[in-house]
A and B are shown apart, each in its own frame.
Chain A
Amino acid sequence: MDKELEHQFVTNLEKHQNIAHKICRIYTNDKDAHNDLFQEITIQLWKAYPKFRGDSKFSTWMYRVALNTAITLYRKKKRRIRTQDYDTVHFKIKAEEYNDEVEQHLKLMYDAVRQLNDIDKALVFLYLEDKNYAEISDTLGITEVNARVKMNRVKTKLKNLINP
């Protein structure tokens, strides 16, 4: 692999790394696992990069490879020590932005999302990323109708998780 390709790839990755970080947020519970999954996503992206033709946007291509890594390729490692949970980090930062009630509700929402299965998480993630149903169905390889039905079910599931 030539230097030019490496440089091009890492530059693109640095610019779009948020996509991978956000996927790690949804699919992992602590910092170590986050870093682990992020690394695997990076490796898989680099392995697939020679086949990236540039006829789609780098970010579009990255969503697909990164999500595939999280859902299918990544093998969770067994951990003995649990490092600091996301929730504490997450909610310390934004305490001043919301009132208590909204904040509490958001915390419940995030907890509920974390309890979903891998496929439902993917749906929620793509929805949060403003992807339309055509893109969601294309990324997951299901029909658009199915994507819509599944999304509705996820919404119901979330509702039930928040108000049991």
Chain B
Amino acid sequence: MDDLDLLKEDWKKQEKNLPHLSYDDLYKMIWKKSSSIVKWIFIISILEFFLGAFLNILLADKDYWDNLEKFEIKDFIIGTYIVSYLITFYFIFKFYKNYRRISTTDSASTLMKNILKTRKTVKYYIGYILISTALVTLASFYLMLRHHALTTTSGENMSFDTTQWFIFIGGTLIALAVLLGVVWLIYRVIYGILLKRLLKNYKELKKLEME
């Protein structure tokens, strides 16, 4: 007899040793709070979506707008705001659509695929935020410098020589890269903690199809 069949025989005998909960116990249980990863993915993704918008509002005080006016890049920034909100809404819509598709009644592999897809939308969103932040920062920097060069009379002690320019631009780029890198790293850690087991199981399930 096969080992597994021996186990099967015992498995059936063990049935009488299983715990048994009463109707009342079960009734109470259905109202308890879930702690499934889907719930966590939903909460964390929503936080990530709104963190970007929240930071925008927090940083954009009156001084900020006055400065933008002074450097004549207010229109540029307003334009990027409108575009970025449109794109953010698109991502949220996409996320919501994928999220709704997650169903425990699907087969294991479909369920896993849909969860990964939902999370991927957020991944692209974070990627978009990082890249667009870098581009907008660099563009406004360029616009500010150009404006500065136009309004400063040459020869004043405000002007830089080549080495100073090099240090200035290099320093800014490094600071920007470090800042965005840290955000990406934090994101990857959260992502990793949430989905490590799921990814492993999904690969395991799909292994044969790829062989």
A138 within 8 Å of B by Cβ?
yes
Whether B109 lies near A141 (C-beta < 8 A) is yes
Given A11-B23, A42-B30, A72-B111 in contact, is the A51-B13 Cβ separation under 8 Å? no
Given A9-B30, A40-B34 in contact, is the A48-B105 Cβ separation under 8 Å? yes
Q: Nearest Cβ in chain A — how far from B77, in angstroms?
A: 41
Whether B32 lies near A39 (C-beta < 8 A) is yes
**Chain A minimum-CB-distance residue to B27:** A10
Contacts of A73 in B (CB 8 A): 36-38, 104
Contacts of B62 in A (CB 8 A): none
Would you list which residues of chain B between 154 and 204 have a CB under 8 Å from chain A? 197-198, 200-201, 204
Whether A118 lies near B197 (C-beta < 8 A) is yes
Whether B104 lies near A68 (C-beta < 8 A) is yes
Q: How far is the CA of A154 from the CA of B8 in the complex (A)?
A: 15
- Is chain B's interface secondary structure helix, strand, loop, or mixed overall? helix
Would you list which residues of chain B between 4 and 27 have a CB under 8 Å from chain A? 4, 6-8, 10-11, 13-15, 17-23, 26-27
**Chain A minimum-CB-distance residue to B201:** A118
B76 within 8 Å of A by Cβ?
no
Q: Nearest Cβ in chain A — how far from B27, in angstroms?
A: 5
**Chain B minimum-CB-distance residue to A110:** B7
Whether A124 lies near B4 (C-beta < 8 A) is yes
Contacts of A47 in B (CB 8 A): 34, 104
**Chain A minimum-CB-distance residue to B16:** A93
Contacts of A69 in B (CB 8 A): 36, 104
Would you list which residues of chain A between 80 and 135 have a CB under 8 Å from chain B? 90, 93-94, 97, 102, 105-106, 109-110, 113, 117-120, 122, 124, 127-128, 130
- Is chain A's interface secondary structure helix, strand, loop, or mixed overall? helix
Q: How far is the CA of A77 from the CA of B35 in the complex (A)?
A: 10
Given A40-B36, A51-B103 in contact, is the A10-B108 Cβ separation under 8 Å? no
Given A11-B23, A72-B201 in contact, is the A64-B30 Cβ separation under 8 Å? no
Q: Nearest Cβ in chain B — how far from A157, in angstroms?
A: 11
Q: Nearest Cβ in chain B — how far from A84, in angstroms?
A: 13
Q: How far is the CA of A127 from the CA of B7 in the complex (A)?
A: 10
Q: How far is the CA of A52 from the CA of B105 in the complex (A)?
A: 8
Contact of A97 among B2, B13, B107, B112 (CB under 8 A): B13
Q: List 9 A-B contacts (CB under 8 A).
A: A51-B103, A72-B201, A90-B17, A109-B7, A119-B201, A128-B11, A142-B205, A158-B4, A159-B3
**9 new A-B pairs (CB below 8 Å) besides A46-B30, A93-B17, A142-B109?**
A14-B23, A17-B20, A69-B36, A69-B104, A72-B37, A117-B201, A117-B204, A142-B209, A155-B3
